[in-house]
């Protein structure tokens, strides 16, 4: 701690740490995530039992967790500063996962979260729908003659990154950017 105020940290260092820490949390809590999602998608796992063992599945949840984490940035910083942090985070993610279209997927998750929520009760449900489609989940229901996503699978798909964004079931319950903002003066 400094003598006057909070310790200072450079914004680029904070972004790099967010990217690393978030990926670590997802990896550390992956067994929990697999158990949670596995209960919600029995039909898919019967057809593709290795789905949750694939690196791409884990990457999808890492990216979704980044997107959830970035929502705190919009609440903690003025608009221009928040957008700069988000843009720099997108670039850091693209650098960390250059062959995975990671920045495009992260942008899609972020866009879906921030789409006008008037057609749904919870912004995270859009995140769950994107995950459902990316993983090609087969857990659907018939409703009024139409095939729809099983809401249990959508809720599980969306709640996992939300929980991981606050450290998972063993975490602090506080978003990474909120903790960083509370502990440090983040310099542009």
Sign of the Cα torsion 155, 157, 162, 168 reads positive
Categorize the per-residue pLDDT at 122 as very low, low, confident or very high, splitting at 50, 70 and 90.
Answer: confident
Question: Using DSSP, how many helices (H) and how many strands (E) does the chain show?
Answer: 9, 4
Buried b (16+ CB within 10 A) or exposed e, 82-91: bebbbeebbe
146-161 pLDDT tens trace: 999 999 999 999 999 9
Residue with tokens 């942008």: 107
Residue 13: half-sphere exposure toward Cβ, Cα within 13 Å: 9
* Residue 11: per-residue pLDDT: 96
* Residue 171: per-residue pLDDT: 80
Q: Is the pLDDT of residue 99 over 90?
A: no
131-184 pLDDT tens trace: 999 999 999 999 999 999 999 999 999 999 999 999 888 788 889 999 999 999
Q: Which of 129, 116, 120 is nearest to 156 (CA)?
A: 129
Q: Is the pLDDT of residue 75 over 80?
A: yes
* Residue 170: per-residue pLDDT: 79
Q: Is the pLDDT of residue 84 over 90?
A: yes
| End-to-end alpha carbon distance in the chain | 20
- Report the mean per-residue pLDDT for the chain: 91
Cα separations in angstroms, 16 against 28, 86, 112, 164: 18, 12, 24, 18
DSSP β-bridge partners for residue 67: none
Categorize the per-residue pLDDT at 14 as very low, low, confident or very high, splitting at 50, 70 and 90.
Answer: very high
* Residue 118: per-residue pLDDT: 60
* Residue 113: per-residue pLDDT: 86
Q: Is the pLDDT of residue 121 over 70?
A: no
Q: Is the pLDDT of residue 76 over 90?
A: yes
How far is Cα 53 from Cα 34, in angstroms, rounded to an integer? Answer: 9
How far is Cα 89 from Cα 70, in angstroms, rounded to an integer? Answer: 9
């Amino acid at each position: 701690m400094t003598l006057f105020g909070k310790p200072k940290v450079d914004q680029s260092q904070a972004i790099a740490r967010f990217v690393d820490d978030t990926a670590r949390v997802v990896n550390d809590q992956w067994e929990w995530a697999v158990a949670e999602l596995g209960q919600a998608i029995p039909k898919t796992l019967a057809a593709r039992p290795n789905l949750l063992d694939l690196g791409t599945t884990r990457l999808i949840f890492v990216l979704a967790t980044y997107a959830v984490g970035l929502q705190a940035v919009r609440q903690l910083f003025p608009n221009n500063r928040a957008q700069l942090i988000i843009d720099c985070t997108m670039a850091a993610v693209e650098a960390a996962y250059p062959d995975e279209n990671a920045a495009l997927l992260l942008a899609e998750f972020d866009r879906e979260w921030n789409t006008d929520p008037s057609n749904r009760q919870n912004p995270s449900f859009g995140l769950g729908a994107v995950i459902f489609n990316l993983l090609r989940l087969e857990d659907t229901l018939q409703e009024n003659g139409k095939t729809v996503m099983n809401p249990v699978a959508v809720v599980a798909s969306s709640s996992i990154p939300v929980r991981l964004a606050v450290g998972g079931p063993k975490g602090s319950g506080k978003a990474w950017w909120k903790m960083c903002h509370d502990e440090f003066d983040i310099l542009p």
